[in-house]
Structure 1
Amino acid sequence: MTTATRTDATPDRPVALDSEADLDELLAAHDRVLVDFYTQGCTLCASIEPVVGNVARAHDDLAVATINPRDDPPLIERFRITSAPTLVLFEDGEEVGRLADGFQGGDAIDAFLDDPQ
């Protein structure tokens, strides 16, 4: 992942992350971040991928990232990932909500972004 600062433009497509360090760097660089925790071979995860891409393009104030926690196992415990896909919303580096109910359409994700729970 390339180094970013809060003054960098928010990416208009999901950023693929490889490690916990990459995720921490992205969280430090952007005020609002939506992270899609996915696993390889998960059909729901594959189905939500284009939806997450559309969300990234639709929200100028939101950085969107994808990461497979199996590639860096400490992520599983740190972020309490018990199912995939799990979408976690961060504001100023702190988790403010999560959506872990399987496949979600764009409208459901937009509603979650407006009112994270």
Structure 2
Amino acid sequence: MAATVVTKANFEAEVLKSDKPVIVDFWASWCGPCRMLSPVIEEISETEPGIKVCSVNVDEQMELAAQFQISSIPTLLAFKGGQLVNQSLGVIPKAQILGLVK
């Protein structure tokens, strides 16, 4: 299952109201580190059924990026029960990404 594309319109339904922990990847197509992190994010979305993985393109969703004060990418935000519980900046290993929601 690929990461769910999130926009301002569906953020509440996909992230805040999710019954699973959610990792939200803020990225852009021109960002080299984002491209390095992308395969890891996709792998998590396919191999971790207990975690929902979402993706936000900061160029297309500037208002959402501003809402969470995303100033550098890639940034990962972790949500549980509709609450922001953790965040990470830059490329990190899969184990660390999973640790954001554990």
TM-score band (shorter)?
A: 0.7 to 0.9
Alignment deviations for residues 57-96 of structure 1 (CA, whole Å, 9 cap, x no partner):
2322211011112212211221110110000001111110
Q: Indicate the structure whose relative CO is greater, using CA pairs within 8 Å and at least 6 residues apart.
A: 2
The residue that corresponds to 2:100 in the other structure is: 112
Query: Given the two structures, how large is their TM-score scaled by the length of structure 1?
Result: 0.77
Q: Structure 1: which 5+ runs fail to align?
A: 1-11
Greater fraction strand = 2
Which entry has the higher C-alpha Rg, 1 or 2?
Answer: 1
Range with bigger deviation, 35-44 or 70-79: 70-79
Structure 2 counterparts to residues 55-74 of structure 1, below 5 A: 55-74=44-63
Q: 3-state DSSP class of the match of 1:34?
A: strand
Alignment deviations for residues 38-74 of structure 1 (CA, whole Å, 9 cap, x no partner):
0120011011111011112232221101111221221
Q: 3-state DSSP class of the match of 1:113?
A: coil
Structure 2 counterparts to residues 1-117 of structure 1, below 5 A: 12-17=1-6, 19-27=7-15, 28-100=17-89, 102-114=90-102
Q: 3-state DSSP class of the match of 1:71?
A: coil
Tell me the C-alpha RMSD between the 2 structures. Answer: 1.5
Q: Structure 2: which 5+ runs fail to align?
A: none
Give the % identical residues. Answer: 23
